[in-house]
Amino acid sequence: MAISFWVGLLATPSDFGTRAGKPSHPELLDWLAAEFVERKWSMKAMHKLIMMSDTYRRGANASESARKKDPANTLLSHTNRRRLQAEEIRDSVLQSSGVLNLKMGGAPVVPPLEAEELFGIIGKAENAWIVTPDVEEHTRRSVYLLQRRTFQNPMFEAFDAPDGVLSCSRRNESTTAPQSLAMLNSRFMMAQAQALAARVQSVSDAWRSVLGREPSERELEEAAKFVERQTGRLVPNPRLTRSWPVD
């Protein structure tokens, strides 16, 4: 069971046998097992218990003492920095652009994909991948997207999401060229970039929307220069070449 920071209390999640690794916190593991039974085997109750814990909510800034005594952070004195997973990347992009649909429940959503993204799907694309008619559904959270065992969303595939065929005890974290291409050139990212550009009013506003913090003076200066250079390369378009104030 993962108590914090996306790392299990046991380092071998697919092997709990006699040759498996030993738990980092055996007493905590026993206590959680007892709580699981006490809470009537409710996974939701356990998720809430863990996520409300002091350990789970700790920051990533480790003290010098913690770095020296526990460099691998086995004792969970702070959180471990990690890359967002495939579904989280998509959801965070939608949140930043301001179009994330937080509707809950309902039928699985089939988002639009380019013809090349549908390569390899079984059957004719127009019959095998029937896009959800309501466009507002297309920006719902990734957990509500249709998942097929024999076909994977290209963006999820690029960022190491499980393929639905093989068991997955732990996700890989690869660094590949398709990841950069998906973030720069995909239809999805282009649409969200346009939505963000139409919503924000300044460079600072865009920075806050994407990174969730205020830019430093140097970051603000460099970002303003970048926007100016890129704007000069655009085909004249009133919506895209409008003035972008710094603040």
Cα first-last separation, the chain: 46
174 and 92 in one domain?
A: yes
Say whether both 170 and 208 belong to one domain.
Answer: no
CA neighbor of 90 nearest in space, from 78, 81, 99: 99
Tokens of 106: 């309902």
* 144 and 178 inside one domain: yes
Same domain, 55 and 90: no
Identify whether residues 90 and 177 lie together within a single domain.
yes
Q: How far apart are CA 122 and CA 124, in angstroms?
A: 7
Cα dist. 10→2, 130, 244 in Å? 8, 42, 51
**Stated pTM of the model:** 0.81
User: In this structure, are residues 172 and 160 in contact, taking their beta carbons and an 8 Å threshold?
Assistant: yes
Q: How many domains does the chain have?
A: 3
Residues 209, 238 within the same domain: yes
Is 80 a member of any domain? no
Domain membership of residue 51 (yes or no) is: yes
Domain final position from 69, 94, 124: 69
Decide if 78 is inside a domain: no
Q: What share of the chain is helix, strand, coil (3-state, %, to 5)?
A: 45, 5, 50
12: helix, strand or coil: coil
| Beta bridge partners of residue 204, listed in sequence order | none
Has residue 140 been placed in a domain? yes
Q: What pLDDT shows up at residue 60?
A: 87
- The pLDDT score that the predictor gives to residue 89 is 95
Alpha-carbon torsion, ordered 13, 56, 61, 173, to 10 deg: 30
Q: Which two tokens stand for residue 57?
A: 């909510």
**Pair (112, 137) in one structural domain:** yes
pLDDT per position in the chain (247 positions), as tens? 444 456 678 878 888 888 888 888 889 989 999 999 999 999 999 999 998 988 888 888 889 999 999 998 888 888 888 889 999 999 999 999 999 999 999 999 999 999 889 988 888 888 899 999 999 999 999 999 998 888 989 999 999 999 888 888 888 889 999 999 999 989 899 999 999 999 998 889 999 999 999 999 999 999 989 988 888 887 665 555 555 565 6
Q: Is residue 81 part of a domain?
A: no
Tell me the residue range of the domain where 34 lies: 2-69
Based on the domain organization, do 209 and 171 belong to the same domain?
Answer: no
Picking from 182, 211, 227, the residue at the C-terminal end of a domain is: 182
Residue 196 domain flag: no
Domain-located, residue 76:
no
Is 189 within a domain? no
Same domain? For 149 and 234 the reply is no
Q: What is the pLDDT of residue 185?
A: 87
